[in-house]
Chain A
Amino acid sequence: MAVPSVAVQPRPSTLSRLSESHNALGFGFMLPAAALLLVFLTYPLGLGVWLGFTDARIGRPGIFIGVENYEYLWSDGVFWLSVFNTLLYTISASLLKFVLGLWLALILNQNLPFKSFFRAIVLLPWVVPTVLSAIAFWWIYDSQFSILSWALQQMGLIDHRINFLGDPTNARASVIAANVWRGIPFVAITLLAGLQTIPQSLYEAATLDGASRWQLFRYVTLPLLTPIIAITMTFSVLFTFTDFQLIYVLTRGGPVNATHLMATLSFQRGISGGQLGEGAAIAVAMIPFLLAAILFSYFGLQRRKWQQGGGD
């Protein structure tokens, strides 16, 4: 009797088995990205948090001191002033950027002549390096050579130069205005992209139902734009909260710390002052605020009820 020959399948190598495994391949492809995240994000963040619990100074590793840095900050008036400044700066600038950016996006969404040209030009403040625009604002706000003071004086509207960066209130308003100028394009262009995804048929249907322009905006545009608003404003709030360059160039946190943000104070104490531990603690103290902003956006603005124009 003839014995049927059985073809013996060679045992697949580990490499070929791995190359056929979706899980292994997926893991392999993610590895470079995960390594980058670990090295450049997780490690610095972890190190920053650790430094906040040490008395590290420049040139000295420091030892673990628990929450002593935070206890010092708790009783530090300048730190609390910087928290107040940061919140005022972020809330005011973000609200203004949202309102003005949305307004600009709605205008740019119309069929204007030279539409593409205007859309491109609106981006200019965003593409100019922050340091350069900050230096321009430094001149605009100069206590002696401000073009604004000069123009208003020429028009006879004021009889003395405006002390833009010397008076605490003026200084806060001035740095917020500079931030808003710089941040509007990001909000406007992103919201414009969102506006263009709204189907025209919805507007037509609403118009047939007799909706006014306000109702079109309130019940069609706004609900459909809410997800993109959530994303845009989350980023905008994060950028504003962590702003550094504008303040560093314009005021260095002055006058008398009236414009010190947590980021600039962290740099001043950590690097210029050499107290890495305390500087890191100030930076870490920013995290809860940033997390709150992200969670608000994630859980709040993306709620279906809100998206559909309803309230809680």
Chain B
Amino acid sequence: MKFTRRDVIRTTAGVAAGALGSRFVGSPAFAQEGLKSKPEDGAKLRLLRWSPFVQGDEDQWLKNTKRFTEATGVEVRVDKESWEDIRPKAAVAANVGSGPDLMFVWFDDPHQYPDKLHDVTELGEHLGTKYGGWYDGPKQYATREGKFLGLPLATIGNAIVYRESWVKEAGFSEFPKDTASFLELCKALQAKGHPAGFTHGHGVGDGNNYAHWLLWSHGGQMVDESGKVTINSPETLKAIEYAQALYKTFIPGTESWLDVNNNRAFLAGELGVIANGISAYNTAKINKDNDPKLAEIAKDIRTTNLPIGPVGKAVELFQVTTAVIFDYTPYPNAAKAYLQFMFEDPQMTDWITSSAGYCCQTLKAFDNNPVWTADPNNAAYAKASATLRPNGYAGPLGYASAATMADYVLVDMFAKAVTGQATPQEAMEEAEKRANRYYRV
């Protein structure tokens, strides 16, 4: 075969173009995952996420990120901040129009600055269709008027964490399933010197989880569908009275607790029952080889879902985190490609597995992840995305729901009543007045 000069030039150019193009189009990422967005030339991304509670989560996220970089050539810098500092950082980034390209935000954050976020509707719908659909609760946090403001990343489940031997010692062969029997258990545990402890302080996660469970399990709600404040109701009164009875069985000091106090006291053997993410159990499990006391606690820990109240079904807040792309990013396509890559299988499967039960899937196709059956204690966290109820139920998500939670209106209502600083009626009226300031009656 004879090559002319023209053939050589054509072939060389073709190889060069192929080599350049394969960096994107012909790469494993594009070929196998079918990334819908082509990253911009020279794109570099910066992601700000919350610090992990389970190390495996961060390690796997970084591994997946490395895979993405290898596949596309797009460098991604992953920074982290304490989870409580994410909200102010995201708020500032949105307001000043500068900061990380992507961020993992919490709760109603995307609804506070929807105009500042890059529309990812196409990607959201694509992933939803491909992976069995999004769970409704996480999707509500990430969508507004039919548009995806971000991708629902995970639900951090919250469940009862208890000492099995102490529950049995208190005369209960199994953990109570309803609120009335749960109160009896807490009384019995207190009598045996192993009290319960639930956060009544300004703990963003644990304080709000507990307060919302109290309210919703008794049929109360902050607002109705139209956003009218309805906290002052007979159902709320019942919830407060129940909280008062339960509080009497608690270890002293829960009204000062922040997010970490319950874990700490539980792992020190001071408490029989708490409500927490999987991290409390994982801490004991991971450190059991170095600490005989923790080994004993880890062996005795069981988890289960919070008891069901008069409302007749599981209704809990949990923490939902959404991955958003800020509109100011110069590389929106690279950011979308990155998110798509991280949400696709096998990356998402690996991440959920490595998160060891801390992060619950938001896409239904990942339900059968082996992590949920790997340890019986993980099972209580498996359905978090399916059973969660969004903040500000039954009203719309937005500025008012976010502000009401940030101002601890519900947490304070219960804390004020259980500590005797106000009667249940007074506490309810004050919460109504404070909530009305945000819902602007």
Q: Which A residues are within 8 Å of any B CB, using their own CB? A: 57-60, 72, 76-78, 142-145, 160-161, 163-166, 168, 171, 251-257, 267-269, 271-276
- Annotate B372-404 by CB proximity to A: 1 below 8 A, 0 otherwise: 000000000000000000000000000100110
- From B8-16, B341-349, B414-422, give the one contacting chain A: B414-422
Report which residue of B200, B253, B415 has the largest number of chain A beta carbons within 10 angstroms of its beta carbon: B253
| B407: Cβ under 8 A from any A Cβ | yes
| B264: Cβ under 8 A from any A Cβ | yes
A-B pairs, 3 with minimum CB distance: A143-B253, A59-B113, A165-B256
In the complex, residue of chain B having the shortest beta-carbon distance to the beta carbon of A257: B412
In the complex, residue of chain A having the shortest beta-carbon distance to the beta carbon of B262: A144
Can you give 15 contacting A-B residue pairs, CB < 8 Å? A59-B114, A72-B437, A76-B437, A77-B433, A143-B251, A144-B261, A160-B252, A163-B256, A168-B421, A254-B201, A255-B255, A255-B415, A256-B419, A273-B438, A274-B399
**Pairwise interchain contact B87-A59, C-beta atoms closer than 8 A:** no
**Pairwise interchain contact A165-B95, C-beta atoms closer than 8 A:** no
In the complex, residue of chain B having the shortest beta-carbon distance to the beta carbon of A160: B252
What CA separation (Å) do A145 and B266 show in the bound complex? 12
- Annotate B92-121 by CB proximity to A: 1 below 8 A, 0 otherwise: 101100000000000000001111100000
| B202: Cβ under 8 A from any A Cβ | yes
Contacts of B113 in A (CB 8 A): 58-60
In the complex, residue of chain A having the shortest beta-carbon distance to the beta carbon of B253: A143
**Pairwise interchain contact A251-B437, C-beta atoms closer than 8 A:** no
In the complex, residue of chain A having the shortest beta-carbon distance to the beta carbon of B417: A256
Contacts of A76 in B (CB 8 A): 434, 437
What CA separation (Å) do A143 and B251 show in the bound complex? 9
What CA separation (Å) do A273 and B91 show in the bound complex? 10
In the complex, residue of chain A having the shortest beta-carbon distance to the beta carbon of B414: A256
In the complex, residue of chain A having the shortest beta-carbon distance to the beta carbon of B88: A271
| B286: Cβ under 8 A from any A Cβ | no
**8 A Cβ contacts from B204-244 to A:** none
Contacts of A269 in B (CB 8 A): 403, 406-407
Which single member of B258, B270, B402, B407 contacts A268 (CB below 8 Å)? B407
What CA separation (Å) do A272 and B83 show in the bound complex? 12
What CA separation (Å) do A135 and B141 show in the bound complex? 33
B119 to chain A: closest CB distance in Å?
Answer: 15
| B430: Cβ under 8 A from any A Cβ | yes
| B311: Cβ under 8 A from any A Cβ | no
In the complex, residue of chain A having the shortest beta-carbon distance to the beta carbon of B427: A256
What CA separation (Å) do A77 and B422 show in the bound complex? 14
What CA separation (Å) do A59 and B96 show in the bound complex? 8
**Pairwise interchain contact B256-A254, C-beta atoms closer than 8 A:** yes
**Pairwise interchain contact B406-A253, C-beta atoms closer than 8 A:** no
Contacts of B254 in A (CB 8 A): 143, 166
19 more contacts with CB within 8 A, not counting A254-B201, A256-B255, A274-B399, are: A58-B112, A72-B437, A78-B434, A142-B261, A142-B264, A143-B254, A144-B265, A163-B252, A165-B201, A165-B256, A166-B255, A166-B256, A251-B256, A254-B256, A254-B415, A255-B201, A255-B255, A256-B412, A273-B407
- Annotate B112-140 by CB proximity to A: 1 below 8 A, 0 otherwise: 11111000000000000000000000000
| B182: Cβ under 8 A from any A Cβ | no
Contacts of B430 in A (CB 8 A): 77
**8 A Cβ contacts from B261-299 to A:** 261, 264-265, 268, 270
Contacts of A57 in B (CB 8 A): 112, 399
**Pairwise interchain contact B403-A273, C-beta atoms closer than 8 A:** yes
What CA separation (Å) do A124 and B254 show in the bound complex? 32
What CA separation (Å) do A272 and B204 show in the bound complex? 11
Which single member of A77, A255, A272 contacts B200 (CB below 8 Å)? A255
Contacts of B116 in A (CB 8 A): 59
Which single member of A59, A252, A276 contacts B202 (CB below 8 Å)? A252
Report which residue of B116, B255, B399, B415 has the largest number of chain A beta carbons within 10 angstroms of its beta carbon: B255
In the complex, residue of chain B having the shortest beta-carbon distance to the beta carbon of A161: B252
Contacts of A275 in B (CB 8 A): 399, 403
What CA separation (Å) do A257 and B433 show in the bound complex? 16
**8 A Cβ contacts from B417-441 to A:** 419, 421, 430, 433-434, 437-438
Contacts of A273 in B (CB 8 A): 402-403, 406-407, 438
Contacts of A72 in B (CB 8 A): 437
Contacts of B255 in A (CB 8 A): 166, 254-256
- Annotate B184-210 by CB proximity to A: 1 below 8 A, 0 otherwise: 000000000000000011110000000
**Pairwise interchain contact A271-B256, C-beta atoms closer than 8 A:** no
Report which residue of A144, A160, A171, A275 has the largest number of chain B beta carbons within 10 angstroms of its beta carbon: A144
What CA separation (Å) do A143 and B262 show in the bound complex? 11
In the complex, residue of chain A having the shortest beta-carbon distance to the beta carbon of B201: A254
**Pairwise interchain contact A59-B94, C-beta atoms closer than 8 A:** yes
**Pairwise interchain contact A166-B253, C-beta atoms closer than 8 A:** yes
In the complex, residue of chain B having the shortest beta-carbon distance to the beta carbon of A141: B256
Which single member of A77, A78, A165, A272 contacts B88 (CB below 8 Å)? A272
What CA separation (Å) do A72 and B114 show in the bound complex? 26
**Pairwise interchain contact B253-A58, C-beta atoms closer than 8 A:** no
Contacts of B112 in A (CB 8 A): 57-59, 274
What CA separation (Å) do A255 and B252 show in the bound complex? 13
Contacts of A145 in B (CB 8 A): 264-265, 268
Contacts of A254 in B (CB 8 A): 201-202, 255-256, 408, 415
| B53: Cβ under 8 A from any A Cβ | no
What CA separation (Å) do A165 and B199 show in the bound complex? 13
B118 to chain A: closest CB distance in Å?
Answer: 13
Q: A60-B113, A164-B256, A255-B201 are in contact. Are A144 and B251 (CB under 8 A)?
A: yes
| B366: Cβ under 8 A from any A Cβ | no
A108 to chain B: closest CB distance in Å?
Answer: 36
**Pairwise interchain contact B251-A255, C-beta atoms closer than 8 A:** no
**Pairwise interchain contact B419-A255, C-beta atoms closer than 8 A:** yes
| B257: Cβ under 8 A from any A Cβ | yes
What CA separation (Å) do A274 and B110 show in the bound complex? 12
What CA separation (Å) do A149 and B255 show in the bound complex? 17
Report which residue of A164, A252, A273 has the largest number of chain B beta carbons within 10 angstroms of its beta carbon: A273
**Pairwise interchain contact A272-B256, C-beta atoms closer than 8 A:** no
Contacts of B268 in A (CB 8 A): 144-145
What CA separation (Å) do A269 and B252 show in the bound complex? 29
Q: A145-B264, A272-B406 are in contact. Are A171 and B256 (CB under 8 A)?
A: yes
**Pairwise interchain contact A274-B91, C-beta atoms closer than 8 A:** yes
In the complex, residue of chain A having the shortest beta-carbon distance to the beta carbon of B405: A273
B168 to chain A: closest CB distance in Å?
Answer: 24
Report which residue of B95, B114, B254 has the largest number of chain A beta carbons within 10 angstroms of its beta carbon: B95
Contacts of B252 in A (CB 8 A): 143, 160-161, 163, 166
A137 to chain B: closest CB distance in Å?
Answer: 13
What CA separation (Å) do A268 and B114 show in the bound complex? 21
Contacts of A271 in B (CB 8 A): 87-88, 91-92
A170 to chain B: closest CB distance in Å?
Answer: 9
